[in-house]
Structure 1
Amino acid sequence: MATDPYKELGVARGASQDELRKAFRKLAKENHPDRNPGDKKAEERFKRVAAAFDLLGDPDKRARFDRGEIDADGRDTFRGFNPGGSGGSGGSPFGAGGRFEGVDLEDIFDMFGGVGGVPRGGPRSSGPAKGHDVRARLEIDLEDSIVGATKRIAFSDGRTLDVTIPQGASDGQVLRLKGQGAPARAGGQPGDALIELGVKPHPVFRREGGDLHMDLPVSVPDAVLGGKVQAPTPDGTVSLNVPKGANSGSMLRLKGRGAVDPRTRQRGDLFARLIVTLPDGPDPALEAFAEKWRKERPYAPKRR
C-alpha cells in the first residue's frame, strides 16, 4: 500500500481510535464489493481502506508506524541502511561510519543471522513469530443476529471467508477466527481474523434489550369485530388474534419471539402495537356510514 493510511481513511494523525473506526466503517460500506458488483475501482478502494485500518486499528502497529518502525504495508523499516555500500565507511552495509538510526540492534543481528551465522543469544526457544491478526467489520441483519446465519466476507488481500454468525449475536461482538489472519514469515503460525459484527437497523422491529417492538396495522373491521391478522416475526410470519373492539395503541405480546438478551442469553418477547388503519383511497360506503354514525352516536375519544 503506497499511500499514507491516515490519508486513505481521511483522518488526521491525531485521530482517536473511535474516529478511525467510524471512518473505516463509512468507507468500507461505500466501497464494499457486495454494494458495487463488478466495480474494480471500488474493490481496490475497499482493499486499501481495509489495509489502512488493519494497520491503524491495531494500537501497537499504529504506534510503530507513527515512530517510523514499520511502513504503510506493515513491514519493518531500517533507516540508515545502505545496501549499495556508498558513503565514508568503505562499503559498510550500515552507511557512513556504520551508523544507523531507529533500528533495534536485535533486529539487525537477526537480519544477518546473528554473529558468525549463529542467532544472537543461541538457538531461539520461542520458534517463528505468529502472523499479524487482521480486522474486519461485517454488517448483518437483525434476524441473523437472533437465529444465526452464515455470511461471506471479503478481506483486503482478495480472500473471501464464510463466517458463522452464532445465535444471539450482538452489535459490536467480535468473532475470532483462528488461523485466518496474515501469514507468518519463516513458517510461523498465521494470525487470526477478528470480525466485528454490526447489526443493521430493521425497517419493522425496534430492539429494547431482549425484546422487540413493532407497529402492526389492522383494518377497521378487524379492530371492531376482532379477527386474525398476519404478523411478521424474526422467525417468519405468524397468525395473530386481534381482540374485538381493539383500539390503536393496544399492545399484543408474542412470547419468546423477540431478540436474545445479551445479559441473560434468553429470548425476549415481541410486542405488537396495533394501528387501526383506514383503506387506501376514498370509500363512499365507509364515508356514508361514518356520517350517519357521527350524527346518531357521537363520541369524543379519551386521551390515552
Structure 2
Amino acid sequence: MADDLYAVLGVSRDASGDDIKKAYRKLAKKYHPDLNPGDRAAEETFKKIQAANNLLSDPEKRKQYDAGEIDAEGNETPRRYYREYAEAGGEHPYRSSAGYEDISDVFSDLFRSQARARGRGGPEGEFRMRGGDARYSIEVPFLEAVNGAKKRVTMPNGKSLEITIPPGLHDGQVLRLRSQGMPGYGGGEAGDAYVEVHVAPHRGFRRHGNNIHVELPIGLHEAVLGAKVRVPTVTGAVTMTVPPGSNSGDTLRLRGKGVPASAGRPAGDEVVTLQVRLPEKPDEELKSFLADWAKTHAYDPRKGTEG
C-alpha cells in the first residue's frame, strides 16, 4: 500500500500550501543524499518526500488525490463503472453525475478521440495522446545558483536527468525541460518536466538583487593603518584595499564581483561590510599604549546617540 502523502510530509490534510512547502524544505534538508552519503534509507526517504511534495504542491493534483481520483504516485485510480452507474439511481440505471447519460457515451468519446488522431495524420485506429507534464523540486547550493552549473539529478520516478542551472538563478525559479515528462500514448510526444529550484543559504554570502553582500572581519591595526586584505567572492578570493581609519560598518564595493553577467544583464557588485575585531586577549603592551593614548586623545564615540 502506498504511503499517505500527508503523513510522509508530517502535515494535516487541511495544511496550507505554505505549510506543505515549509515541511518539505525542512525534511529535504534532513534527508538530502548529499548530506547522507551512502545512506540508502535516507535516499529512499528523500525520494518519498520529493514525490509527496510534487503532488501536494500542485493544487489540481492535490484536489484529485483528496477525492481519490489519483493515487500517491499520480496514477488514476481504477473506475468502478458498472457499480458506480448502477448505484447512481434515477430513471436511467446507468446515469451518473460524471456527465454521461449512457455508458455508451464513454466509448463514443474514445472513438471521437481516435478520429481526431487520424485527422492529425495518425494511423487508422490509433489513439495518439501527448504525455502529461511532470513537476519536481530540487535544492542547489548557493554558489551553483549564482555561477551556473550542470547537475545530474534523480527524480522521484527514478529517471536521471541532466539539468543546466543558468547563472543568476533565483530561489523558486522553475526550469522547463522539454519532452522530459510523462511518455506519450500511441506514439504521441512526451510531456515536459518542470523543475522548481530552491537555493540553499550560504553561511557567508547573502544576495540582494544581483549584488552579493559579505561581512569581512579586520584587525584593529588594519582598520587604523589601512591594509591590503583577501576577500572571498563568489568566483574566488581577491585582494582589496582597506583605507586607513576604517570602522566597523563601513562598506566597500568590488565592481563586477557579484552575480555574473548573463543574457544581457550586467554583472552585479560585491558589497563588503567591515567588522573591526579586537584580539581575543589584548596583551599588556596594547593596553598600556591605549591607556596613554586616551589621556591625550580623548573622544566620545557615543556623542549624539543619547536622546
Counterparts of 1:34 and 1:288, CA distance in 2: 52
Counterparts of 1:31 and 1:278, CA distance in 2: 40
Q: Identify the residue that residue 124 of structure 2 maps to in structure 1.
A: none
Contact 1:212 1:258 in 2 (8 A): yes
CA deviation map 1:196-215 (0-9, x unaligned): 12222222223222322222
Q: Equivalent residues in 2 for 1:239-258 (5 A)?
A: 239-258=239-258
Q: Equivalent residues in 2 for 1:252-267 (5 A)?
A: 252-259=252-259, 265-267=265-267
SS in 2 for 1:60: helix
1:238 Cα deviation (Å)? Answer: 0.8
TM-score, normalising length: structure 1: 0.80
Corresponding letter in the other structure for 2:214: M
Q: Say yes or no: does 1:274 pair with 2:266.
A: no
Counterparts of 1:294 and 1:59, CA distance in 2: 67
Contact 1:171 1:199 in 2 (8 A): yes
SS in 1 for 2:33: coil
Contact 1:174 1:195 in 2 (8 A): yes
Of 202-211 and 168-177, the range deviating more from structure 2: 202-211
> Which residue of the other structure, out of 119, 124, 143, is the alignment partner of 2:111?
119
Q: Equivalent residues in 2 for 1:94-173 (5 A)?
A: 99=94, 114=107, 119-120=111-112, 123-125=115-117, 128-173=128-173
Gaps (5+ residues) in structure 1?
Answer: 88-93
CA deviation map 1:59-112 (0-9, x unaligned): 222222333322333222344357xxxx9xxxxxx8899859676769x7799x
1:178 Cα deviation (Å)? Answer: 1.3
1:283 Cα deviation (Å)? Answer: 2.2
Corresponding letter in the other structure for 2:7: K
Q: Identify the residue that residue 17 of structure 1 maps to in structure 2.
A: 17
SS in 2 for 1:20: helix
Contact 2:147 2:260 in 1 (8 A): no
Contact 2:148 2:165 in 1 (8 A): yes
CA deviation map 1:241-297 (0-9, x unaligned): 1112222222211112223799x9432222212222222334232222222222343
Corresponding letter in the other structure for 1:68: G
SS in 2 for 1:53: helix
Corresponding letter in the other structure for 1:119: F
Q: Identify the residue that residue 90 of structure 1 maps to in structure 2.
A: none
Q: Identify the residue that residue 73 of structure 1 maps to in structure 2.
A: 73
Residues paired across the two proteins, number: 289
TM-score, normalising length: structure 2: 0.79
Corresponding letter in the other structure for 2:280: D
Q: Identify the residue that residue 59 of structure 1 maps to in structure 2.
A: 59
Counterparts of 1:62 and 1:286, CA distance in 2: 66
Counterparts of 1:221 and 1:188, CA distance in 2: 71
Counterparts of 1:56 and 1:186, CA distance in 2: 29
RMSD in angstroms over aligned alpha carbons? Answer: 3.4
Counterparts of 1:4 and 1:104, CA distance in 2: 30
1:174 Cα deviation (Å)? Answer: 0.5
Alpha-carbon spacing, 1:70–1:251, altered in 2? closer, same or farther (3 Å): closer
Q: Equivalent residues in 2 for 1:2-41 (5 A)?
A: 2-41=2-41
Contact 2:215 2:275 in 1 (8 A): yes
1:235 Cα deviation (Å)? Answer: 1.7
Gaps (5+ residues) in structure 2?
Answer: 121-126
CA deviation map 1:16-70 (0-9, x unaligned): 3333222222223322222222222222222222222332222222222333322
